[in-house]
């Protein structure tokens, strides 16, 4: 009887340790492409609050999944720029149908504003199909 109790409590302890490990120590990464966008904006609407230092607004944008549309102004490797103010790092390699002058909509994680190049950055992005 006593042995059984020790056995069961040992198992329970082990299980809870594993649960703690899985829950706290490994922690799954987000998959941005699978999440729904929480903010849907035009490039200028995303850029303006960062540029004007609206910290109460921008605090709600950082780390959020943003859906942004704009005109492609530059392309290099898997980075594209929208309207010269949003820098988008795409998840995958460039699709061939992307070119300068096209208007596209992307979905990705809003990283923040970088004043060196004066851009708002979005990473882990995908290009959304035209509606």
Partner 1 sequence: MIKPVIAMLFLVALELTSYQEKIIARQGNVSFFSYTSVENIKAENNQVLSIIDLENSKIAVSMLMNAFVFEKALMREHFNESYIESDIYPKATFEGEIIDFNPLQEGSQTKMVKGVFTMRGISKELEIKTKIEKLNDKYILSGVFEAVVNDYDIKIPPLLAGNIAKTILVNFRFEYDPYEN
Which residues are at the interface with partner 1 (CB under 8 A)? Answer: 24-30, 59, 62-63, 76-77, 79, 87, 89, 111-117, 121, 123
Length of the chain: 131
Residue 126: its H or E element: strand 119-128
Nearer to partner 1 among residue 9 and residue 92 (C-beta): 92
Nearer of residues 34 and 131 to partner 1, judged by Cβ: 34
Residue with tokens 């979905």: 107
- Burial class from Cβ neighbours inside 10 Å (0-12, 13-18, 19+) for residue 84 reads middle
User: CA–CA separation, 60 vs 62, rounded Å?
Assistant: 6
Looking up tokens 């299980």 gives 15
Q: Which is nearer to partner 1, 12 or 57 (CB)?
A: 57
Task: Give 115 or 131: the residue with its C-beta nearer to partner 1.
Answer: 115
Rounded least distance, CB 74 to partner 1, Å:
8
Question: Phi and psi of 82, rounded to 5°?
Answer: -105, 125
Residue 24 CB, shortest distance to partner 1, in Å, is 6
Q: How far is the CB of 55 from partner 1 (least distance, A)?
A: 9
């Amino acid at each position: 009887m006593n042995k059984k109790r020790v056995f069961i409590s040992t198992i329970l302890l082990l299980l809870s340790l594993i649960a703690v490990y899985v829950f706290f120590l490994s922690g799954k990464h987000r998959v941005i492409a699978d999440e729904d966008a929480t903010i849907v904006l035009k490039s200028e609407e995303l850029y303006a609050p960062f540029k004007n230092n609206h910290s109460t607004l921008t605090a709600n944008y950082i780390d959020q999944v943003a859906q942004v549309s704009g005109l492609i102004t530059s392309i290099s490797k898997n980075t594209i720029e929208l309207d010269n103010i949003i820098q988008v790092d795409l998840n995958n390699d460039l699709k061939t149908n992307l070119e300068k002058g096209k208007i596209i909509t992307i979905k990705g994680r809003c990283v923040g504003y970088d004043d060196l190049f004066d851009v708002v950055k979005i990473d882990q992005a995908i290009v959304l199909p035209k509606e």
